Amino acid sequence: MLRSILGAASLAALAATPQVASAQDAEAGAELYLYYCATCHGLDATGHGPMAGVLLIPPTNLKALAPSDGDFPTARVVARIDGRDPLVSHGSPMPVYGPFFEGNYTAIKTPAGQPILTSKPIADLVAYLKTLQEG
C-alpha cells in the first residue's frame, strides 16, 4: 500500500515538473527566417539580401554551413544567432532582434550528442537551416 502511494506521488511530482521541450520545427524556422534573416542573408539564404551591401562583413551563405564531409555546426550557429559569438557587422551583435530570441528555452543536440540550451525560435531556425545545406 505504501509503495502504491509513494509511486503515485512520484508520478504526480514528475508530471508537475516543467519539462524542457526538445522538438524543433523547421517550418516555423522558415517563417522566422523570412521575417528576421532574409533581409541580410537573402530569400535564397546565399548571403545576397537587400541589406547585404551596407554591412561591414558580408552575410554568410547559410546553405554552406555544413562541410560536405562533416556535420552541421549546431553549437556555432546557435552561438552566432544568440549573441554568445557576436558578429558586429551591422553595428550591434547579431541578432538585432535580440529580445525576441530570448526565453522559452529548449534543448537541442549537436551531432555529437552535446545538449545546448537555447530559445525555441533559435531551435526552429537551426532546424530550418539544416534543411538548406548543400555541402
Q: What does the pLDDT look like over 71-87, one tens digit per residue?
A: 999 999 998 888 888 77
Burial 111-135 (b: 16+ CB within 10 A, else e): eeeeebebbbbbbbbbbbbbebbee
- Which tops the pLDDT comparison, 130 or 3? 130
Residues of the chain above pLDDT 70, percent: 75
What residues form DSSP beta bridges with 115? 109
Inter-residue contact 58 to 122 (CB < 8 Å): no
Helix (H, G, I), strand (E, B) or coil at 134: coil
Find out whether 23 and 57 touch, Cβ atoms under 8 Å: no
DSSP-assigned beta bridge partners for residue 68: none
Q: What is the pLDDT of residues 80-116, one digit of tens each?
A: 888 888 776 555 656 666 677 888 899 999 999 999 9
